[in-house]
Amino acid sequence: MANPSGRETRFIFGFHAVRSRLRNDPEGVVEIHVAAQRNDGRARDLVALAETQNVRVIPTDTGRLDGMAGGAVHQGVVARVDARHKVLQLDDILDTLEGPALLLVLDGVTDPHNLGACLRAADAAGAQAVIAPKDRSASLNATAIKVASGAADTVPYVTVTNLSRALRQMQDAGVWIIGAAGEAEQDLYAVDQTGPVAWVLGAEGDGLRRLTRDTCDVLARIPMYGSVDSLNVSVASGICLFEAARQRRA
């Protein structure tokens, strides 16, 4: 959509997502709509932050907020932001890495809730980027941004045309590719992750595609001690990335 200035805009919603955008890209925030009836501390803090960034805050009725958020849970805050994202290429990530690479690759993750949660886990573990194929992947929409709780503004989400080719490009750059697979012989604790690594995870139930699996340098499993035999991809991502972080701290 476009506003009167001709600027292409879209909506994001939720306190974490809006506050993160205000802190990381205030110039990209056109205006913020806050539920007219909200006057609690959380809302006042957001309004105060917006004022320091010279961003207009508009008291808005809940029905209009519901329409802006497409019926999603918006917590009483919706922001109109610049729709243009800087399009990052894999080269941009590999050329600007500081320290050993820690990357998360998602193969066939199509749920925006899962994408948002994976971005959040990647941020928490210190990963430099999340990478996914352009097809059969969730888009970075308002739902994913809200679930990411600010991580969508701190962790680049890079989409590639050919995932296998991108994995080989990472290998050429010295990154060790570890695929998560339940049937792998060794578990993730036995894999050395102190150097540059990229964890590759597929969607729960589907796992990695064959060509993706064949391109990995090694496969590793998460040990399961209970009755379930699989984990949500965002949970699995957190386990894998934090094991890499643990090994590096050790």
Same domain (yes/no): 104, 181: yes
Same domain (yes/no): 205, 240: yes
d(CA 107, CA 207): 8
Same domain (yes/no): 21, 140: no
Same domain (yes/no): 22, 55: yes
pLDDT of residue 84: 66
pLDDT of residue 7: 65
d(CA 49, CA 22): 8
Domain boundary among 50, 66, 82: 82
d(CA 78, CA 67): 10
Same domain (yes/no): 64, 97: no
Same domain (yes/no): 141, 39: no
Asked, for residue 4, whether it belongs to a domain, the answer is no
Same domain (yes/no): 118, 67: no
**Which residues carry a binding-site annotation for S-adenosyl-L-methionine?**
202, 222, 231
d(CA 95, CA 26): 27
Same domain (yes/no): 28, 124: no
**Which residues carry a binding-site annotation?**
202, 222, 231
Same domain (yes/no): 234, 127: yes
Q: Kindly report the CATH number assigned to the domain that includes residue 32.
A: 3.30.1330.30
Same domain (yes/no): 145, 231: yes
- Per run of 10 residues, the mean pLDDT along the chain (length 250 residues) is 62 87 85 93 93 94 91 89 73 86 96 96 96 92 89 90 96 96 93 97 88 96 89 96 94
Asked, for residue 1, whether it belongs to a domain, the answer is no
Same domain (yes/no): 95, 76: no
pLDDT in tens, 168-213: 999 999 999 999 998 899 999 999 999 999 999 998 778 899 999 9
CA-wise closest residue to 144 among 38, 13, 44, 35: 13
pLDDT of residue 89: 85
Asked, for residue 111, whether it belongs to a domain, the answer is yes
Number of Cβ within a 10 Å radius of residue 34: 24
Same domain (yes/no): 24, 124: no
Question: Residue 137: which domain range?
Answer: 90-249
Domain boundary among 29, 53, 82: 82
pLDDT of residue 230: 82
Asked, for residue 3, whether it belongs to a domain, the answer is no
Q: Give how many domains the chain has, as a whole number.
A: 2
